[in-house]
Structure 1
Amino acid sequence: MANSSQLLKGILEGCILKIISKKETYGYELYNSIKTNGFDDLSEGTLYPLLIRLEKNNLLSSVSRDSPLGPKRKYYSLTKIGEEELIVFCNSWDKISKSVNKILGDDLIG
């Protein structure tokens, strides 16, 4: 699929918003959470540009804090707009995934 990377980015953005909605987190912790939950092929080079874009679009806010292990960490949290976007994503994902599963499961109508 020519646009599979675009599809993956959209899905990852929704997953990022969901993970951050549960608790404020920093990039590497988020990266590990995404990988642990099935996105094994995700690279840090994919994640950080997404975080920058989400912050630029006012879906995330960030604050730098000291780290016990070295340089400061940038912690992300959802903005009000990010919370609203997460709801839209979840509703869209539910509808799309049901439709795709119906077709892939051979439950086609007509």
Structure 2
Amino acid sequence: MGTQMTEMLKGTLEGIVLAILAKKSAYGYEITAELRERGFTDIAEGTIYALLVRIEQKGLVTVEKVPSEKGPPRKVFTLNDGGRQHLADFWETWNQLVTRIDQLPHTTNELEEK
């Protein structure tokens, strides 16, 4: 993944993870696997775990410890009402941003014509 993609992803990863949790409750590894299935192959598990700590601290998820067959209990994250509102705000902001970006020239030719 290029540097530009990495930087853009930093600003949107929270919303992406909340969107995954809006579909179903999950633990960290499941979220990382889902991201990889969707083409985000360069995201480190540590990045996701740090993000999960932040969204838990913000009160956007409910966390339940579930016994694991291997090792310590897993923390399963479920989007709560605050998280759903935060996700709705994220999509509203995203749509506004996309609309504004779509109004900009997208090619070198368009830039030269201006």
Same fold (TM over 0.5): yes
> What secondary structure, in the 3-state scheme, does the structure 2 residue paired with 1:63 have?
strand
Bigger proportion of residues as strand: 1
Q: Say which SS state the counterpart of residue 67 (structure 1) adopts.
A: coil
Q: Deviations over 1:46-68 (max 9, x none)?
A: 11110000000001111010123
Secondary structure of the residue aligned to 2:42 is coil
Confirm or deny that 1:101 pairs with 2:88: no
1:38 match: 39
CA distance in 1 between partners of 2:93 and 2:79 (Å): 19
Provide the residue aligned with 2:53 in structure 1. 52
1:58-77 matches, cutoff 5 A: 58-77=59-78
Read off the aligned partner of 2:17 and give its amino acid letter.
I
Q: Distance in 1 between matches of 2:69 and 2:98?
A: 41
Distance in 2 (alpha carbons) for counterparts of 1:98 and 1:67: 44
Name the CA distance, whole Å, in 2 between partners of 1:104 and 1:92: 21
What is aligned with 1:86?
87
Distance in 2, Cα, partners of 1:75 & 1:82:
15
Q: CA deviation at 1:69?
A: 4.0
Aligned residue pair count: 107
Q: Decide whether aligned partners of structure 1 residues 102 and 56 sit closer, same or farther in structure 2, where only a CA change above 3 A counts.
A: same
Deviation digits for residues 61-101 of structure 1 (CA, Å, limit 9, x no counterpart): 11010123443211001121111000000111112123223
C-alpha RMSD of matched pairs (Å): 2.3
